[in-house]
Amino acid sequence: MPASRPKKPGDPQHPRATGPLRSFGRIKSRAIKPLQAALFDTLLPSIAVPDPAHGPIDPRVLMPEAKEAWLEIGFGGGEHLAAQAGRRPDAVMIGCEPFLNGVASLLRHVDEGGLKNVRIHADDARAVVQALPDGSLDRIMILFPDPWHKARHNKRRLIQPAFAAELAGKLKPGGRLRFVTDWKDYAGWALERFLATPGLRWLADEAADWKVAPEDHVVTRYEEKRLGDTDPLFLEFEKI
């Protein structure tokens, strides 16, 4: 399968003159290690999600034998996605991340773990979400998205009413959406918008339901840095 944005570490950022406001920051920071950089040529082309601009993306085509389809939006360093993929080899794990260092890290995890069920989109997740058929996903995971916590930047937050509705539409009945943040304001912002989204039910009855990590949660290096203003808050929703 061709890479959705075939570029190597060091290539210039593609222009983004049109489309939604960017909901993420930098594309690349430190130099990518040679062994990881090589995986952009040797591994990524074989596990890349097809370019969403070329038409619909059916998870059943990405991995025909998969029993479930999961999507992680903004997988960071890839530890969480790789761990979930290792636990559930029967599920195709679609990961979207525009930060090239994070893509390189996940490629290393996939290579070293011999993971066969990971598919990568090295760009903005919103194009993939739009290309996925309605009712095609069993789980959606959004862990620690950029908070854009200054009021004038709130419009850049990933969770907006239209996108929340789009995510709900992609879930199967009974499918789950998990949103995790360590910023109180973003948790309230996201909760308000998800609660207003038809078809989603918040799975919380008491404070522990959003303050205690779910049993299958995987702690990442980012989470351990404690960069937000609160302990992680876990918002879990079900498609009804």
Does residue 123 contact residue 90 with C-beta atoms inside 8 Å? Answer: no
Would you state the structure tokens that stand for residue 103, as one six-digit string? 């893509």
CA distances from 233 to 142, 160, 173 (A): 12, 18, 24
Q: Which of 41, 137, 149, 151 is nearest to 96 (CA)?
A: 137
Q: Is 146 a known active-site residue?
A: yes
How far is the C-alpha of 69 from the C-alpha of 140, rounded, in Å? Answer: 9
Out of 146, 205, 229, 231, pick the active-site residue. 146
H helix intervals, the chain: 34-42, 44-47, 59-62, 79-87, 100-113, 125-131, 161-170, 184-195, 208-211, 221-225
Please report, to the nearest 10 degrees, the dihedral formed by the alpha carbons of residues 116, 128, 173, 138 taken in order: 20
Catalytic residues: 146
